[in-house]
Amino acid sequence: MRPALSPSLAHMMGAVCGIAGIWGSADEVRARQVMDGIAHRGPDGAGLHGQPGGVLGHRRLAIMDPSGGQQPIFDETGAMAIVANGEIYNFPTLRPDLVTRHTFATMSDTEAVLHLFEERDTDTPTALKGMFAFAISDPDRLFLARDPIGIKPLYYGRGQDSDGVLVLAFASEMKALADWVDELHEFPAGTWYDSKTGFTPYYEVPTALPVSRSVAEHVALVREGLEDAIASHLMSDVPVGAFLSGGLDSSVIAAIARKHVDQLHTFSVGLAGSRDIEAARRVAAHIGSIHHEYLMTPAEVIEKLPEIVHALESFDQDLVRSAIPTYFCSRLAAEQVKVILTGEGADELFAGYAYHKTVGDPATLHQELCRSVATLHNINLQRVDRLTMVHGLEGRVPFLDTDFIALALTVPPELKLMASPDGKLVEKWILRKACEDLLPADIVWRGKEQFDEGSGTVDLLDEALGPLLAGIDLDAYRAATNEPVRSAEEALYHRMLCESYARPEMILANVARWTDDRPG
């Protein structure tokens, strides 16, 4: 079993939180207004740093280093400050080197980022492994950066401060900015911003051709890479759990995590008798986790639906459907743990969706997998962030470790969609093969189901939404809103989103559609 981290390592971790700020004005009133919009991300405290050129703000949920993890954090001179959200998984290798040249005031990985920036400036983001969004300021400069895949959120906009001065504003969620900015944008994943030079991308999802190796080599490398990624994502001094739907991705993560954690808590939600509930029980019993489950009811799903849509900041039908079980599973997990592992990214890396089987040739499929990984930031990763954070839970996604992404995209598509003896295509074949010793065979080779399908959410919605959809004339709604909603159900979510914001047009302009730009 994995031993507990020593205090010197455990308290260097980051925190679940939100960041916010303005640049171009020292208006702390406006900055506090932005911070109030993300208060749910950090109910345990708030920090503010004002200077003539701008204001940095931070909302904190105290998970790590409760006495020493407050932000903003300052450099040795007090002239440079940082606020950050996320986890830097390679901080144990960064800090020992930095401490030989810098005086650390905390055991936080956020401070390591600040000192690294003192030395490497705009090269800092490329040196970090993890999920992050951070802002660094000195008296005449603002620097913003977001992690390569966009696991942690960041948005920016331009508007007027209390005195009518035009400012740049940023925050972890759109809802903190939407009510007052004149324009609102998602900060691009894998990009940094310098107030002196503008935006610069520093990472792109690899698009090189797959590598020729033996099947056995590919299988061994996938297993080794996944073991390493999951181990790195377990670093914590608070209990770590795992979402467990009973599907392949979550089951593999839970099984590998269980080898490192003495008491692993796993969590599943669904309708009574749903396929996910039954499969998750089998996996939990097999790996010996402490398992928790929650059975949703139609009444409470309808009751919580407006809250879910508001938190999600999207009306996309597929995203809302999958957000529903994520909401209830996050609420359940937050009763036991503060950190949760989840399986996002596996379907995009290993061809797990039904539409992948319709893509005509391996080269096109490979290109599609590369593309879809690069679009996760404002669809599935947005769902994971918002629906965990609304419950004070930190979601981690080991499949989207950048080293593992690079490795997975060297695997030929023919090993991801493999033809079985009966001619049917088996999705994620190589992932199943690499991990088949970890789980019962019927779990390893269980057919793919979306989270909202296996949990029974789709069946539940069919029953529960009927009265709410009866009064929606889809053609009339499309004409009235000029929004290409796909169904009466999506029109309902669109209406809920609009009703929950004073200026919904700012949110709507940034809603990504899960079905955009697919081949096949």
Q: b/e per residue, 425-436, with b = 16+ CB within 10 A?
A: ebbbbbbbbbbb
Whether 448 and 432 have beta carbons less than 8 Å apart is answered as: no
Distances (CA, A) of 197 to 8, 20, 143, 176, 194: 38, 21, 10, 26, 5
- The reply to whether 17 belongs to the active site is yes
**How many residues belong to the chain?**
520
479 token code pair: 């004409």
For 98-125, what is the HEC assignment? HCCCCCCCCCCHHHHHHHHHHHHHHHCH
CA within 13 Å, CB half, 411: 30
413 token code pair: 């598509």
> Which of 172, 177, 183 has the alpha carbon at shortest distance from 386?
172
Give helix 248-260 / helix 215-232 axis angle, nearest 10°.
60
Nearest-angstrom CA–CA distance, 197 and 11: 35
363 token code pair: 């080269």
CA angle 454, 227, 5 (to 5 degrees): 110
Per DSSP, the three-state class of 436 is coil
> Which of 37, 42, 81 has the alpha carbon at shortest distance from 59?
42
Per DSSP, the three-state class of 447 is coil
Catalytic residue among 17, 329, 370, 435: 17
Backbone torsions φ then ψ of 490, nearest 5 degrees:
-65, -35
Q: Say which residues have a Cβ less than 8 Å from residue 490's Cβ, sequence separation at least 6.
A: 315, 316, 317
Residue 2's identity, in one-letter code, is R
CA within 13 Å, CB half, 163: 6
Per DSSP, the three-state class of 130 is strand
For 53-106, what is the HEC assignment? CEEEEEEECCCCCCCCCCCCEECCCCCCEEEEEEEECCHHHHHHHHCCCCCCCC
Q: Which residues are catalytic?
A: 17
